[in-house]
Structure 1
Amino acid sequence: MNSEQNLTREEAIAILNTPDEQLNELIERAGALRKKYKGNHVSIHLLTNARSGNCSQNCAYCAQSCRSHADIEKYKWVDDEKLYGDNTFVHDHKLSRHCIGLSGMKFSDDEIEELASKIRKMKEEGTHLCCSIGFLTKKQALMLKEAGLDRINHNLNTSRSNYPNICTTHTYEQRVNNIHMLQDLGFEICSGGIIGMGESKEDVVDMLLDLKEINPEALPINFLIPIKGTPLQDRDTSNLTPEYCLKVLCLARLLVPTSDIRCAAGREIYFKGREKELLTVVNSIFASGYLTADGQGIQDTIKTITDAGFTCEVESD
């Protein structure tokens, strides 16, 4: 078997087909890389849904998309009290990063300037910030950079070939180009995907190989939580066994060993009772929920980490 950074596509597919009885060996192999690059620490991130619903894009998994009928709250800007309160929470609990999600794919310069002013205020507390914000123009990206934003999330979500099955209002290539533009401007990148949307193992591998080329600072893997009112509300997720999900995360670690591999949405569902194995491979998780789904509270998250024999990483000043 080749070294972790030179896996062929065939070798990567074979990893996803690892017999369950050989999973411990795979976890050990991925865990060695996790320890080498990330030590024994787990970084905890808090996600705030700063702009909810009314999105023009038709992403099949998303409760906020234009073809979703999910019962969610919709607002242009979350209350300042909530946004800044979450930011103070990140600071006071010494969490790694405050992640801010905004629904939509394109924004006016005035909207970006409004966001930039909010970023300046949050940066006063010394918190690390990441924005998930769709497609930016170069001018808009520089406005956010000047405000102190250093990291942007833009997920690939699935493979290039599977992308039209998930979304048709923009292309995979647009996502890749947006990421490269942001990297050229000096932004750190958070980019990952969603597992369980009907993709093949080859699709998972192809997505991860593209992420290897991007080499993001953070690589979040979400495991689908079918949301009522979305096109994927009845998606069969029985293939998302803890064993298969762990194989996906192991492959992410083997292919992109220096990234923060994050187990994002679905962690509380698909890894219940398997937290020690999970944290042997990943070094980053969310606390207190996702954009439109609840999650584990902060104290329970910290207990999960310490009970598994790991320590919480403190990044924010």
Structure 2
Amino acid sequence: MSELLTKIDWNTYADKALNGERLTKEEALSVLTADDEELLAIMHAAFRVRKHYFGKKVKLNLIINAKSGLCPEDCGYCSQSIVSTAPVKKYPLLEKDVLIDGARKAMEMQAGTYCIVASGKGPTPRELDQVIAAVEEIKSTMPMKICACLGILSQDQANRLKTAGVDRYNHNLNTSSGHFSSITKTHTYDDRVTTVESAKAAGMSPCSGCIVGMGESKEDVVDVAYALRELDADSIPVNFLNSIPGTPLESLKHLNPRYCLKVLALFRFICPDKEIRASGGREVNLRSLQPLALYAANSVFVGDYLTTEGQEATDDHRMIEDMGFEIELCAL
């Protein structure tokens, strides 16, 4: 197999992406199964596509864990779920002033998008009101794009968030439809698709991605990439499992940096003109190869994640500069 794959001209994949053609499933799988000796050629081809649509700009996003723990869902990867015994902080939705301070911190870190993330199946009426109040003040005082991630939404809730000024709504598919029930049983894959569609119908930009490394097959990775293309997600966070002790997936630690880079390249080929974000787990899985992610991804998170620490923002800024890229400042 490896000998056969070395004969692939990866630039033909870039050509197809630039021409709006979809890779076949066999072609998509060949990216993930390629010999590691092909990695630089794959990344070069992915960079052709990335550069065409985004130049050398890098979008920065910052997360605030607006409500921690206290979640009734059973997502196997999550330290905040009802089935997790991880010793994470547990607190209700943060007050409006704290959410606003988080937006100021995002600006200081040069993040163009501020992501308000709350645990739970979906927001209560009080929580929705609290987020809306914070969003309205942030939008009136700062040149900041806001992404909300509050769980499953009704259409009315989505409409209210849009009216308040939320630019983007995140609800990840996480994995393929075929693998989904192995990770979560308290809600369905279709529940997640419906929420993304509700956000789109309300006029918010859809953000939806995946988590790689949850015991899925390479075919599952390809399937979720195709699903996100069909969903027309504008922003696609590609997370790599950071297996946390106390979660059902705590023993899964089989990713390596080279495979993670191939995954990012695959998403660039399949969703060529979308914001591909190297997201949670990039530090522990990409390790010293993090800078190469920028050849496929045009976006990263800065600062910490929900319950795990991220790389220092100054280190991210330096990485971007050292690679000859530049931070894309928010332009509303």
| 316 and 101 in structure 1: CA distance in 2 versus 1, 3 angstrom threshold | farther
Counterparts of 1:80 and 1:307 in 2: how far apart (Å)?
A: 37
1:177 corresponds to 2:194: yes
| Runs ≥4 residues deviating over 3 A | 79-82
Q: Which SS does the other structure have where 1:6 is aligned?
A: coil
- Of residues 46-55 and 267-276 in structure 1, the stretch that sits farther from structure 2 once superposed is 267-276
Q: Which runs of 5+ in 2 are unaligned?
A: 1-11
Matches of 2:302 and 2:123, distance apart in 1: 28
In 1, the alpha carbon distance for the partners of 2:109 and 2:86 equals: 32
Task: Give the partner amino acid of 1:246.
Answer: L
Cross-structure match for 2:266: 251
Contact 1:95 1:316 in 2 (8 A): no
Deviation (angstroms), 1:173: 1.0
Alignment-mate amino acid for residue 227 of structure 1: I
The within-5 A match list for 1:34-73 is 34-73=50-89
The residue that corresponds to 2:44 in the other structure is: 28
Q: How does 1:36-185 map to 2 (within 5 A)?
A: 36-124=52-140, 125-185=142-202
Q: Give the Cα separation in 2 of the matches to 1:80 and 1:253.
A: 37
Letter of the 1:213 partner, please give it: E
TM superposition shift of 1:121: 1.3
2:318: which partner in 1? Answer: 303
Question: What is the letter of the counterpart of residue 132 of structure 1?
Answer: C
Determine what percentage of the aligned residue pairs are the same residue. 38
Which one is further off, 217-226 or 83-92?
A: 83-92
Distance (whole Å) between structure 2 residues aligned to residue 53 and residue 83 of structure 1: 17
What is the one-letter code of the residue matched to 1:28?
A: H
Mean Cα displacement is larger for which, 262-271 or 165-174? 262-271
In the alignment, which residue of structure 2 is the partner of 1:219? 236
Q: For the Cα contact (< 8 Å) 1:59–1:65, is it kept in 2?
A: yes
Counterpart check, 1:9 vs 2:25: yes
Deviations 1:275-307 (A, max 9, x none): 332111111011111011001121111011111
- 1:133: how far off? 1.2
Amino acid at match of 2:175: T
Deviation of 1:23 after TM superposition, in Å, equals: 1.2
Amino acid at match of 2:87: D
Cα displacement (A) at 1:316: 5.2
Residue 261 of structure 1, aligned match among 264, 273, 276? 276
**CA shift in 2, pair 1:302/1:315, >3 Å:** same
Q: Which consecutive unaligned segments of at least 5 residues does structure 1 have?
A: none
Partner-residue secondary structure (3-state), 1:144: helix
For normalisation by structure 2, the TM-score amounts to 0.91
Contact 1:275 1:308 in 2 (8 A): no
The reply to whether residue 204 of structure 1 matches residue 221 of structure 2 is yes
In the alignment, residue 287 of structure 1 is paired with which amino acid? V
Give distance in 1, aligned partners of 2:192 and 2:96: 29
Alignment partners' CA distance in 2, 1:209 and 1:38:
21
Match in the other structure for 2:286: 271
| Alpha-carbon separation, structure 2, partners of 1:162 and 1:172 | 9
Listed as ranges, the matches of 1:272-291 within 5 Å are 272-291=287-306
- Return the structure number with greater relative CO, CA threshold 8 A, min gap 6: 1
Query: Which secondary structure does the structure 2 equivalent of 1:285 belong to?
Result: strand
Amino acid corresponding to residue 96 of structure 1 in structure 2: G
CA contact (8 A) 1:94 1:316 kept: no
How far has the Cα of 1:81 moved from its partner? 4.7
1:80 Cα offset (Å)? 4.2
